[in-house]
Amino acid sequence: MEHIIYNVTVSLDPAVEQDWVNWMRTVHIPAVMATGCFLESRMSKMNELEEGGCTYAMTYIAYSQDHLDDYQNNHAAALQIDHKTRYEGRFAAFRSTLNVIQHFRHER
């Protein structure tokens, strides 16, 4: 059984960046992880070419497609409403999923 990557890319109004990062770290991402649907998550800031750009990628690794389906069917809407309500008009989000074909790791 291969893992599924669920990626959420969010572009922000720079005026809310610090509040958003703090809220994501302390409230939203812990709530997503508490669903039990994901093995791990990563929060990354994209390297921007434009000055003042604020774009982040949250990458969640679902245990399986069934786990991702459970998240999307039973948890995602409420969590997305919380985000939308808090940052209405201050962000744009794009979601994608990817099937992991093979995992490579460098051993040191």
Give the pLDDT confidence of 47-83 residue by residue, as tens digits: 866 666 799 999 999 999 999 999 999 999 999 999 9
Residue 47: per-residue pLDDT: 87
Cβ–Cβ < 8 Å for 108, 22? no
- Residue for token digits 């209405």? 88
β-bridge partners, 11: 55, 92
Q: Supply 7's token pair.
A: 């990626």
pLDDT of residue 96 exceeding 70, the answer is: yes
- Residue 100 banded pLDDT, cuts 50, 70, 90: confident
User: Residue 63 — left, alpha, or beta (φ > 0 → left; ψ -120 to 50 → alpha)?
Assistant: alpha
